[in-house]
Structure 1
Amino acid sequence: MNTDIRKLLEGVSDGTVSIDDALLKLKTKPFEDIGYAKVDMHRKLRQGTAEVIYGAGKTPEQIIGIAETMLKNGQNTILITRLSAETASEIGKYHPLNYYKDARCGIIGPMPVPDGSGKVVVATGGTSDIPVAEEAALTAAVLGNEVVRLYDVGVAGLHRILAHLDDIMSASVIIAIAGMEGALASVIGGLADCPVIAVPTSVGYGASFNGLSALLSMLNSCASGVSVVNIDNGFGAGYLANMINHMNVRKES
């Protein structure tokens, strides 16, 4: 069961939350219609993670309005993905915003204290994959995970990843990010005893087809326990890693 709902019901059971307050919490409308967006207020209750704003294609005014609605309804930390520097500058005039240029992400509010069951390792084949990796790493961190970054550890110099076996072996989940032929995911998948999330990137020369080559390689990985998200989808990988890293937390709560 979702952790927030369980805590609410436990509060009713032990008397720290009144029945009326619990009813009010559950009856609050599930979304708020602000004209150009229907902001999902029950996402955290349903899925354990509040809504994230996808910034691409939205005007600064739209993002500001959505963020204000979230803040008004008690969301303390807001992640905005695929956010341009120009739009971030406009948002910053209305809300304190930390902008991460490489990741193209903005964060309103404080970073949470990590409460996952272990560490999320984010590894890249090369330096050119770092923008996608930073989107994944920031997403995982915003959702309450301790993140370890291993950058530029691709298979062209296999000794580089082998130098970090302690991090690989102690991870709860690993995000392997690579372009070109995408071999990093198979190598890590053959070393680790935890789930591996492969992220193909659009990095590479012509025959890489903007990430399609890496995507197909990762989908055909011979290593067991490797799942694959879409090309350049660092957010999706970070979100999935968060879910995996909080499975034991949900069972214990």
Structure 2
Amino acid sequence: MSAVDEPTLRALLDDLAAGRVDADTVIARLRTLPFADVGGALVDHHRALRQGRPEAVFGPGKSPEQCARIVAELLDNGIGPVLMTRASADQVKAVEALVGPGVHEAGCLLYRAPDRVRPERVLVMTAGTADLPVADECAITLRAYGFDAVRITDVGVAGLHRFLDRVDDVLAADAVVVVAGMEGALASVVGGLAAAPVVAVPTSVGYGSGLDGVTALLAMTASCASGVTVVGIDNGFGAACAVARILR
């Protein structure tokens, strides 16, 4: 079966109308459209039809064998991109043993990234080097959805002159993801300058009063820069998904 998306469904209905396939064939193909049971997981076949992007696979809590079955189900049905996030070494090993090697970066495993890069200019900025793992997850997720993100790293407010050197890039962006721990102030700085959508990602980087990212989260949601979107702590994946929705 091919991917369950709008073009495929239209082609199937055109084939039915033209008599190239019969109704029984169409019913048989649609019967597995919503999801497939692969043992312990119900794999969503038509999420791309509903949301414009296929299901991603979250690694934690799943066995390596479950991850392999889920990824194989998606690939076998022509679905792409296929992205597994927060994958352990054992999970990656099991998946690649079953379906072959993928792009393994930032704790993620990616198959069938789009060949064509979208024209929108998306920035992924970090306040510090310690925020890079979250930014890396965001960047590979953006790649899965066709965006070649521009990386700007280590430009937090403790050295504001470093950020000011990249203001032109911020002003020219179509969307900006700001990844910051500590007090999360970089999101407000960017939100006060950029006309583009700003998605802020608080990270668990910081000292005791940082409360594992809670301080940055609260600061970002209380930002005086109106319209800044905030996702959960360390959620680089969610930030990329927000950008993909905004720029759809």
State TM-score, norm by structure 1: 0.86
Distance (Å, rounded) in 2 between the aligned partners of 1:176 and 1:96: 31
Gapped runs of 5+ residues in structure 2?
none
Does residue 59 in structure 1 map to residue 63 in structure 2? yes
* Amino acid in the other structure paired with 2:104: Y
Letter aligned with residue 104 of structure 1: G
Deviation for aligned residue 1:57: 1.3
The equivalent of 1:68 in structure 2 is 72
Verify the 8 A CA contact 1:136 1:235 in the aligned structure 2: yes
**Unaligned stretches of 5+ in structure 1?**
247-253
Whether 1:96 aligns to 2:101 is yes
Structure of greater relative contact order (alpha carbons < 8 Å, 6+ residues apart): 1
Work out which of the residue numbers 131, 139, 142 in structure 1 matches 2:133: 131
Offset of 1:110 from its aligned partner? Answer: 3.3
1:188–1:196 Cα contact (<8 Å) kept: yes
Q: Give the C-alpha shift of residue 158 in structure 1.
A: 1.1
What percent of counterpart residues are identical?
A: 48
Question: Pairwise mapping of residues 88-237 of structure 1 onto structure 2 (< 5 A)?
Answer: 88-94=92-98, 95-100=100-105, 103-107=106-110, 109-237=111-239
2:22 and 2:182 mapped to 1: Cα distance? 54
Q: Provide Cα deviations, 1:21-49, integer angstroms capped at 9, x if missing partner.
A: 99566554310012200000010111110
* Residues 26 and 198 of structure 1, relative CA distance in 2, 3 Å threshold: same
Structure 1 residue 90, shift from structure 2 partner: 3.1
Name the CA shift for 1:112/1:62 in 2 (closer, same or farther; >3 Å): same
Q: Aligned in 2, Cα 1:18/1:159: closer, same or farther, shift over 3 Å?
A: farther
Q: Tell me the TM-score normalised to structure 2 length.
A: 0.88
Q: Secondary structure at 2:241's aligned position in 1?
A: helix
Name whichever of 112-121 and 210-219 sits farther off.
Answer: 112-121
Q: Using the TM superposition, give the Cα deviation of residue 54 of structure 1 relative to its aligned residue in structure 2, in angstroms.
A: 0.2
Contact 2:83 2:109 in 1 (8 A): yes
Distance (Å, rounded) in 2 between the aligned partners of 1:97 and 1:63: 14
User: By how many angstroms is 1:92 displaced?
Assistant: 2.4
CA shift in 2, pair 1:222/1:75, >3 Å: same
Q: Alpha carbons of 1:238 and 1:157: their partners in 2 closer, same or farther (altered >3 Å)?
A: same
Name 1:45's counterpart in structure 2: 49
